[in-house]
Structures are given as structure tokens and as C-alpha cells.
Amino acid sequence: MSALATKHNAINLSQGFPEFNPPPGLIDKVNESLLGGKNQYSPMAGQMSLREVIAERQNSWGRSFAINPETDITIVPGATAGLFAVFQAFVQRGDEVILFDPSYDSYAPSIVLAGGIPVRIPLNQDFSMPWELLKSSITKRTAMIVVNTPHNPLGLIFSRSDWSMLASLLQNTEILVLSDEVYEHMVFDQKDHVSVLQIPELHNQAIAISSFGKTFHATGWKLGYVTAKAELSAEIRKVYQFLAFAANTPMQFAAAEFLLENPEYETSVSEIMQSKRNFFADGLSQSRFQLLPCEGAYFQIVDYSSISDKRDSDFAEWLTIEHKVAGIPVSAFYQNPNPNQRLLRFCFAKNNDTLQKSLDVLCRL
Ligand SMILES: Cc1ncc(COP(=O)(O)O)c(C=O)c1O
């Protein structure tokens, strides 16, 4: 959709990346790192100064075990690489990995490349968890379940009661829970992000993925980290050593120093994104689109059924080519999309004048 948006000179609300820059103080730190000679390989698991500041924050947010920066955190070149290393480390040939559709597009191919079988089960029609279906989908070959909170594309969060339910289902099993939490610092309306690392019953099975690309509005920097107990992290590192070996050094020093000097930074990310969500949603309330709830991340799902009966991929193309606004058809996140679903995902991490220009178009439809 981004390529189509460029070709037709459309406003691009499709791919998930911010239109604005990382905080200037962080860019200064990167410049200082580059000029200060921080330009060679980092240790495999990442710069200790960064792992320490991450561990300190995670422990202050409440975790079910004390995060040890030495053994439990591995810095990686972006969440995608972290996900890939985790699947390679724990999925053996023929193992099943349960995903909930709609699901982020890198999971299934990475599982297949590890020799595993993605078992993609759809969320309920109202996007709540399909607990009965999950129960019946767990087999002796289930190695892992993937959760994504806050969710791409839905913008929904996995609640404490969802976690309790999952933990009780996985009691007395060794099934791992991989929780993709790249939007952990974009949660709205005083709701809480609940990490898999906060669930005591899952502490031996939990792996969390984070992305500085998202948290710093710097998706092009490709920097993230994987957190899990030492025994699990050791296995992940065995793969990671030969996948990338290390993430880029100047960004790691810069991130560590910036976070140390800005203890409240993450809170500001939710505030920025919530004001964008509100701006976009208020504008769309004047349109014929129906808005689905958005609790986190930077995506607004809209139902366009009162505007058109086209399938979502056709509608997305038509909107891009004819009206110069690009979104993503939600069917792209399914193995078996429902042909009657009329949903589009818009990314609202854009400057307000861009959002306003898109609203001017969307409200005329
Ligand atoms: C749910 C989810 N996981 C992972 C990623 C990839 O993150 P990174 O850019 O750090 O590899 C994205 C990026 O859009 C995402 O939306």
C-alpha cells in the first residue's frame, strides 16, 4: 500500500511508522556517540549500560521475577530480528505455534522458516479471545502461543483477565508464551499495558519483545530487545549470535544515556499518541466511517460498510487511487479472511496537518 500511495501521490496512512522525528535530545546523544568513537561492535547481548537502564525500568514497572540485565535481556536489531531468533530457538520441525488472526505479518513466515506449523485461529467476531477454540487447538505438538499487546492491526490490549485465563489454560504445560509488546508505551485512557513478564504463573514460559523503533518514533533505527528468564535467553542468544551477532553500537549508547536522563520519557509517548488518536477520531466522527475501539498502538480500525460494499483490498485501492488516502485492508492480516468484513486500518502517527488533510477527504466520502 505504501508503494501504491507513493505512485498515486496519496496521503500514506497505511504502513505503521511515525511522520515525526525522535526527540531532539536523543538525536543529540546519537551524534555524540558517533563523534565520540562509539562505532565498533557491541557485546553480543548488547551494551551493558542499555541493558541496565532497561532492567531498572522493567523492575520498577513490576515484573514477576527480578530482571537481571546480565542474563535476561538481549538487545537486537529490531523486534523482527528478535521474533525470528525466538522462533528459531524454540520451534523444532513439526512443532505447532498458535497465532490469533488478525496477526502481524512476520510471525507465520518466521515460524515456517524454523520448520514449524503456524496454527492461525481467528479472534471472535468482536475481536475478543476465542477461548474455547484455543483450548481445542492446543495439542501435544504446541510449542508456543503468540500474543500481541497492544495489538497491530486492532489497537486493542490483552487485559489482566485475558492473561489470567491464558495462564490457567497453560498450567502444567511447557508451552512458551511469546508476547510481542512493541507498542507497550502507547496505551490510552488510563488503561494499563500488562506485560507477559507481570504474570507470575507464566514466569518460566514468558518471552517479551520490545522495540525502540516504536518507543522512540525511529522505526528506521531497527533497535529492540528480548526479555526472558536466563534459561530461555541463553537459547535465544545461541541463535542470535549467528543471526546478527550484535545490534548497532552508537544507538545503544545514545538510548541508554537518553533514558537515564529522561525517566518519564515513556509516559510522554502514550500522551502524544492519545492526542493523535483523539484528533483523528474526532475528525472521523463527522464521516460515514464507523470507528472501532482503539485502546493502544497507533492504529485506528474503521468500518466502511455504510460507504461501500467493495471488498477491503478493492476499497483500499480505490481510496488510494481515486481519493489519495491510503490505508491497509484488514484482510491482509488473516490466513482465511472473512469476505464480508469491511475494515481498514489507518495509522494516525502522523503530523496533525497530514491527518487533517486526510480527514478533509474521508469526511466527504
Ligand atoms: C506488532 C509488531 N511487531 C513487530 C514489529 C517490528 O518491529 P521492528 O521495526 O522493531 O522490527 C512491528 C512493526 O510494525 C509490529 O507492528
Query: Do residue 188 and residue 306 come from a single domain?
Result: no
Q: What is residue 37's predicted lDDT score, i.e. its pLDDT?
A: 98
CA separation (Å) from 107 to 62, 243, 300? Answer: 27, 17, 22
Query: Do residue 204 and residue 279 come from a single domain?
Result: no
How confident is the model over 210-224, as pLDDT tens digits? 999 999 999 999 999
Protein residues whose CB sits closer than 6 Å to any atom of ligand 1? 16, 78-80, 104, 148, 152, 180, 182, 211, 213, 219, 224
Query: Do residue 295 and residue 253 come from a single domain?
Result: no
Grouping H, G, I as helix, E, B as strand and the rest as coil, residue 294 is coil
Q: Which atom of ligand 1 is nearest to the CA of 219?
A: 9
How does pLDDT run along the chain (365 residues), one tens digit per residue?
Answer: 999 999 999 999 999 999 999 999 999 999 999 999 999 999 999 999 999 999 999 999 999 999 999 999 999 999 999 999 999 999 999 999 999 999 999 999 999 999 999 999 999 999 999 999 999 999 999 999 999 999 999 999 999 999 999 999 999 999 999 999 999 999 999 999 999 999 999 999 999 999 999 999 999 999 999 999 999 999 999 999 999 999 999 999 999 999 999 999 999 999 999 999 999 999 999 999 999 999 999 999 999 999 999 999 999 999 999 999 999 999 999 999 999 999 999 999 999 999 999 999 999 99
- What's the CA-to-centroid distance between 18 and ligand 1, angstroms? 13
Query: Do residue 203 and residue 334 come from a single domain?
Result: no
Burial of 98: CB neighbours in 10 Å, binned 0-12, 13-18, 19+? buried
- What's the CA-to-centroid distance between 364 and ligand 1, angstroms? 32
- What's the CA-to-centroid distance between 288 and ligand 1, angstroms? 30
Q: Which of 104, 212, 221, 240 maximizes ligand 1 atoms within 8 Å of its Cβ, making it the mutation to test the pocket?
A: 104
Query: Measuring CA to CA, which residue among 344, 341, 346 is closest to residue 357?
Result: 346
Last residue of a domain, one of 261, 288, 303: 261
∠ CA 72-76-94, nearest 5°, is 80
Domain limits for position 275: 2-21+265-362
Q: What is residue 105's predicted lDDT score, i.e. its pLDDT?
A: 96
Query: Measuring CA to CA, which residue among 177, 173, 180 is closest to residue 163?
Result: 177
Q: What is residue 121's predicted lDDT score, i.e. its pLDDT?
A: 98
> HSE (CB half, 13 Å, CA atoms) of 66?
2
Last residue of a domain, one of 232, 261, 290: 261
Q: Which atom of ligand 1 is nearest to the CA of 78?
A: 10
Domains: count for the chain:
2
CB 350 within 8 A of CB 19: yes
Q: Which of 17, 74, 76, 80 maximizes ligand 1 atoms within 8 Å of its Cβ, making it the mutation to test the pocket?
A: 80
Last residue of a domain, one of 194, 228, 261: 261
**CATH classification of the domain holding 220:** 3.40.640.10
Q: What is residue 135's predicted lDDT score, i.e. its pLDDT?
A: 98
Q: What is residue 1's predicted lDDT score, i.e. its pLDDT?
A: 92
- What's the CA-to-centroid distance between 50 and ligand 1, angstroms? 20
Tell me, letter by letter, the H, E, C secondary structure of 224-291.
EEEEECHHHHHHHHHHHHHHCCCCCHHHHHHHHHHHHHCCCHHHHHHHHHHHHHHHHHHHHCCCCCEE
Atom 16, ligand 1: residue with shortest CA distance:
152
**CATH classification of the domain holding 337:** 3.90.1150.10
Q: Which atom of ligand 1 is nearest to the CA of 15?
A: 14
Tell me, letter by letter, the H, E, C secondary structure of 141-187.
CEEEEEEECCCCCCCCCCCHHHHHHHHHHCCCCCCEEEEECCCCCCE
Query: Do residue 241 and residue 284 come from a single domain?
Result: no
Query: Do residue 70 and residue 208 come from a single domain?
Result: yes
Query: Do residue 199 and residue 277 come from a single domain?
Result: no
- What's the CA-to-centroid distance between 222 and ligand 1, angstroms? 9
